[in-house]
Amino acid sequence: MKQKIIVVGAGICGMCTALALASKGNQVVVYERDIAPPDGDAHEAFFQWNRRGASQFRHPHAFLGLLCNLIRDRYPDLLEEFIANGARKLSFRDMLRPELLAKYKPEQEDEKLWILLCRRATLETVLRRYVLRTGNIELHDSSHIAGLITSRSDVSNCDSLVVKGLQLHTRGEKSEVYADIVVDASGRGTKFPQWFKAAGIDVSHEEHNSEMAYFSRNYQLNPGETEPSRHGLHPGAGDLGYIKYGVFPGDDGHFALIICVPEDEKTLRGAVRDNAQFDLMCRSIPGLKPWMDERKMQPTTDALGVSDIRAVWRRYVQEDRPLALNFFAVGDAAIRTNPLYGRGCSVGAVHAHILADILESTVDPVQRALEFDRRSEEQLRPIYQASLNEDKSGIKRARAVASGTLLEKTAGFKAWFGAAFGDALIAAIKDQVHVVRGMMRTVNLLEKPGDFLKEPAIRFTIFRYMLRGRKKNAAVRIVSGPDREEMLALLKNRAA
């Protein structure tokens, strides 16, 4: 049964949702609160599109292998358009350091281990124009949702709210729109939980603060200049304990540098908001310094920040009972992870295709809600949990550095073994292609996080590295850069 489906939000998740649903023959209508992008190219969109509804619009983005393979398999012409507009394919081979390339022998699975690098403005512009050429999708910009249209369920033994449509405010005009299904793809700022609460429904959720703030600044290489190698002596991404950093190459010579700081580090948070001090911090980190040569590049934006970074999981099913029928929340509106890990776009796209498959497989509204909840838990909970674990680990390490304590002081054999295993894994990743390959399956969300560690060959390698001794393996973790006190002194001298 083909249905009329409303999707709220025209970001990357909303557009992927519209594509997934339309591919099943449904009539999809998308409502977006922001204005349409300018008529020009993606470069113009990056600088001129007032994208208030996407707080990360000018922050760096990448599509991980899970989403890249989905696009390549289901929408190959869309992938061609991304590439034609400057998106760059980073293959597994490209990720290997020169000393590993000498040992590299291609395997079939390597074709799935790739990343698409591009500015979000380019990704959104190309995706939106592709969607608009799809015959059974409508898109309405500058449309503000004011509330829900609901009724009580008349399904026996199901005391749920039934969502029938939305109340709209469009350019000053009030109206009501009705549909068979309403999908919330409005992102981390979703207002649907508030509207459900007004209707007497409390949406359960779990929430965890990453205790981190995320800052980035965009740059562009001057004509004729080439990018520094990302496989030099010092890595282009790392963790100094009190800050995390990284470089994100983009399209057309654009790139972004990121610095993540703990919320409690008030001096550092103040510094990264200032363009001069942001650049000073980047130049002080050996892995970022090659990208900061003023003779070769110029900044294109100010330092931009995102705070209040939280892991959130919302459930619209409680005790095996749907809270609402004919309503679904996808992507960040339901499942949000730290943007530092770059998993949001992939989670949103997979979530959308889970929904499309379920809507096609059954017409029973209760079964749809229960199955969507079950499959979300099965397929996406491991990704969410891995991100949450990384947040907690980062919090623990940042607190230890700030207090001057040794995080590596472990108590008991189990704790010691876990730390020693982790050190050996990092050391093996530096030297062994098959371990890198396994890790990249996890990074690209092609398997449940950490599943590669169950492979006998990888476990044997890690145990072999453990025999080298903890001290030798732990040394591989060390990332060059100023320690916290050195960085604070540097910033103080600059301010003076």
**Do 380 and 242 contact (CB within 8 A), yes or no?**
no
Which residue reads 């969607």 in tokens? Answer: 131
Same domain membership, residue 401 and residue 366: yes
Same domain membership, residue 134 and residue 184: yes
Same domain membership, residue 481 and residue 369: no
Asked, for residue 85, whether it belongs to a domain, the answer is: no
Same domain membership, residue 388 and residue 342: yes
Asked, for residue 84, whether it belongs to a domain, the answer is: no
Asked, for residue 298, whether it belongs to a domain, the answer is: yes
Question: Is 91's pLDDT higher than 90?
Answer: yes
Same domain membership, residue 222 and residue 299: yes
Question: In sequence order, what are the residues at sequence separation of 6 or more whose Cβ sits closer than 8 angstroms to the Cβ of residue 456?
Answer: none
pLDDT of residue 346: 95
Which residue reads 């973790």 in tokens? Answer: 477
Asked, for residue 82, whether it belongs to a domain, the answer is: no
List Cα–Cα distances, 105 to 93, 96, 213, 269, 454, in angstroms: 10, 12, 40, 44, 22
254, 279, 308: which is the final residue of a domain? 308
Same domain membership, residue 369 and residue 432: no
Residue-range definition of the domain harbouring residue 324: 1-60+119-209+309-405
Question: Is 415's pLDDT higher than 90?
Answer: no
Same domain membership, residue 173 and residue 48: yes
Asked, for residue 98, whether it belongs to a domain, the answer is: no
Same domain membership, residue 277 and residue 385: no
Asked, for residue 179, whether it belongs to a domain, the answer is: yes
pLDDT of residue 1: 59
Question: Is 138's pLDDT higher than 60?
Answer: yes
Q: How confident is the model at residue 175 (pLDDT cuts 50, 70, 90)?
A: very high
Same domain membership, residue 302 and residue 443: no
The model carries a pTM of 0.93
Same domain membership, residue 244 and residue 129: no
405, 426, 448: which is the final residue of a domain? 405
Of the two residues 419 and 448, the one the predictor is more confident about is: 448
291, 308, 325: which is the final residue of a domain? 308
**Number of domains forming the structure of the chain:** 3
Question: Model confidence over 220-268: pLDDT tens digits?
Answer: 999 999 999 888 778 889 999 899 999 999 988 999 999 999 998 999 9
pLDDT of residue 135: 86
CATH code, domain carrying 201:
3.50.50.60
Residue 17 CA to residue 187 CA, distance in Å, equals 12
CATH code, domain carrying 237:
3.30.70
Asked, for residue 100, whether it belongs to a domain, the answer is: no
Asked, for residue 424, whether it belongs to a domain, the answer is: yes
Question: Model confidence over 348-399: pLDDT tens digits?
Answer: 999 999 999 999 999 999 999 999 999 999 999 999 999 999 999 888 888 8
